[in-house]
A and B are shown apart, each in its own frame.
Chain A
Amino acid sequence: MDIKINYRPVWGLKTKKFYISSHFFTALTAICGLIILFILFLILSHIFINGFKHISWRFLTTIPQTDFFNVETTGILPHIVGTTLKVFIMTIFGVPVGVITAIYLSEYSSNTSKTTRIIRSAVNNLAGVPSIVFGLFGLGFFINFIGQNIDELMKYQEPVWGKPALIWASLTLAVMTLPVVIVSTEEAIRATPPGEREASYALGATKLQTIFNIILPRAFPGILTGTILAVSRAAGEVAPILFTGVAYFMADLPHKLTDQFLDLGFHVFVLSTQSPNIEKTKPILYATVAVLVVLTFTLNLAAIFIRARIRRKQRASE
């Protein structure tokens, strides 16, 4: 036959130009990803190289009594304790409220009811509120409204509750991290296999019993992830606690819920901008930053690790 069938083999359909442009753009976007990693690496390496050499056991466990700004004698134990107490109290108040809200949203309410949609919308909105507005809220609501009213009720002469205190700072942070907890818990509850739920109902358990005995234990890693992410976020936040409870220098650890407290993030801020001698306090600054970053990163990595394990378990059971 003399018919020339002019056809190219399949792999030749794509011209060189085609390949080049595809590879080029792939490389371009990959470079974007690498730029981000590079930024991360830059910041972390700079902090760790300059910070780790000044961290010592003494630094981490002393309460500075003399010469706060001398790197030889100072310590950040009060800051570590302050930050820990702040997130701890925040967790006590914030996680139960968040978990209960998530349970209600996923188990009890129907997806189309108006209340559900408003609650969901409110959760999303709460996630977007600027941190300084939370500070104003803490000041205007917790301290000026609730705190002062408690003082009036208990007839104190001096303000005991109506001034910046550990409890108000923690509550402000609890409100701020509520969306994180709610979203993580809801995600976790949704992921529980429906089979187990049905089986529980089939055996005659009530809704509440099912929730507490089957669903919550199953969702526990997810709730834990949410809590850890909330804690990690709150540990580094400074703006909401600026006028709700943090102090510049305290001789002692906070003893009562109405005491002020020292905080790692605020210490970084103070040393960067208001230190009396920037060169002399640079080592303390870098060391504090290193401790803070190690703290938030460990928490984040833990959360990612737990999440990855959950995903692997899910994929295994599918």
Chain B
Amino acid sequence: MSKKFSQTEASIQSVTERRGVYFRKVKERIIESLMYTISLSVIAAIFCIFLFVGKEALPIFTGKTNSALVQDPIKPEDIDKYSPEQIRIYLGLPKSKFKKLDKETLIALLEVKMEAFKEIPENFKNDKDARVNTTQWKYLIFPHQWTGYDKPVYIWQPVSNIPKYNIMPLIVGSLKVTLIGLLFAVPISVGAAIYVSQLAKPAIRETLKPAIELLAGIPSVVIGFFALLVMASWFQSVFKYEIRLNAFVAGIAMSFALIPIIFSIAEDALYAVPRSIINGAYALGASKWQAAWQIAVPAAFTGILAAILLGFGRAIGETMIVLMVTSASEMTWNIFQGARTITATIAAEMAEVVFGGPHYRILFLLGTLLFGFTFIANIVAQVAIGKFKEKFEGLK
């Protein structure tokens, strides 16, 4: 807007009008920056998840927790001989809580800890692992021979006098169930996706696609319920294995939840392959199947791969189905035996932990690992989809 008005023009455009337009522009700018800030909330959400979940697990990463059964007890009378920091670590309290406690309370706490020490049965006090800090990384990952076992084993048994926090059985359990789920879901969903996008008549496509996507409308609790009440018994009567609730049943139930996701994305990827390429194949004499299998699928390959990756991410993170169907936390790759996934462990055990204790932190550690893993899987899938779109930019 030119600032050079002649006298007449200035009097025509009244002061209030000009001010109104000016204010409107300011208002718009303010609203725009407000919108910008709100949009950043998505990034803030991801960041906060990382921050708050990782914060609780941090002491395990830095080695500051100590879950040893027998620690040299500090007698309440000797409270002044130790520095506050030593007492804080002995009591296992976070800094914020420690600050709020007065001396009397601290003495009461030390007394309680002395009582606890006296309560420990003798055979545990003299156990070779009694003084071991079981939250150290080497106990979380590598097998160890605990008392009462005849060889080094991977054990997750966190509620015990000597808590065992080895996370390998949980990781193996998660992978077992996920792989079975994918093994069952991928061929079926990709096959159906090829059919619906390439081989079916448009009329069939219109009805079949929403029908299959309707499967996504079943909550995972309901799938878990169905697996527990119906599938588990039926499978056992057909396959006649020993353990009714095993990784196989969980995997098949999991695949019901994965099929809609993999189908949706794979079908979109296949449908997005430009018609010109496929028509070209027809022109050269290919049959419908040949065009679909030899032209469309390789073209949409990165998209299909992204679909499988997203299915994998969903499977690793699925909670309710595995919570209802899985059982033992044994370290075995046998699919007809029990399995315990990371997600089910967190869901089942989080409610019972002492807030701030080693078990609590290990569960948050598992959550952080899970989140980190799905985050990476997602980024890889995004890059794949990006590359896929680039390929066909410009072709229609």
**Interface of A toward B, CB cutoff 8 Å:** 13-14, 18-19, 21-23, 25-26, 28-33, 35-37, 39-40, 43, 46-47, 97, 100-101, 103-105, 108, 115, 118-119, 121-137, 139-141, 144-145, 175, 178, 182, 206-208, 232, 235-239, 242-243, 265-266, 268-269, 272-273, 285, 289, 292-293, 296-297, 299-301, 304, 308
Q: Bound complex: CA of A35 vs CA of B263, how far in Å?
A: 13
Asked if A236 and B49 sit within 8 Å, CB to CB, the answer is: no
What is the interface size of chain B, counting residues whose CB is below 8 A from a CB of the partner? 86
Given A125-B378, A132-B367, A133-B317, A32-B195 contact (CB < 8 Å): yes
Residue of A19, A36, A128 near B263 (CB, 8 A) is A36
When each residue 374-385 of chain B gets 1 if its CB lies under 8 Å from chain A and 0 otherwise, what string results? 110111011000
In the assembled complex, the Cα of A198 lies from the Cα of B377 at a distance in Å of 41
Chain A interface, >50% SS class:
helix
Q: Does B191 contact A (CB under 8 A)?
A: yes
A133, B371: Cβ atoms under 8 Å? yes
Q: Which of B112-120, B134-142, B318-326 contacts A (4 or more CB under 8 A)?
A: B318-326
**B binding-site residues for A, Cβ under 8 Å:** 24, 28, 31-32, 35-36, 38-43, 45-46, 48-49, 52-53, 55-56, 187-189, 191-192, 194-196, 199-200, 208, 210-226, 228-230, 256, 259, 263, 285, 287-290, 293, 310, 313-314, 316-320, 323-324, 343, 346-347, 350-351, 364, 367, 370-371, 374-375, 377-379, 381-382
Q: Which of A32, A104, A115, A145 contacts B52 (CB 8 A)?
A: A145
Chain A's closest residue to B223 (CB) is A43
Main secondary structure of the interface of B (DSSP, over half): helix
Task: Choose one: B200, B324, B347; the contact of A30 (CB below 8 Å).
Answer: B200
Of the candidates B52, B211, B225, B285, the one having the most CB atoms from chain A within 10 angstroms of its own CB is: B225
Q: Least Cβ distance of A23 to chain B in Å?
A: 8
Contact across chains for B222 and A47 when beta carbons are under 8 A apart: yes
User: In the assembly, what is the distance between CA of A299 and CA of B287, in Å?
Assistant: 40
Query: In whole angstroms, how far apart are the Cα atoms of A125 and B44 in the complex?
Result: 12
Instruction: Knowing A97-B38, A135-B347, A242-B351 are in contact, say whether A28-B367 is a contact too (CB < 8 A).
Output: no
In the bound complex, residues from chain A placing their C-beta under 8 Å from that of B225 are 268-269, 272, 285, 289
B32 (CB) vs chain A CBs: closest residue:
A108
Minimum CB–CB distance from B32 to chain A (whole Å) comes to 6
Known contacts A26-B195, A125-B379, A272-B324; A18/B53 CB under 8 A: no
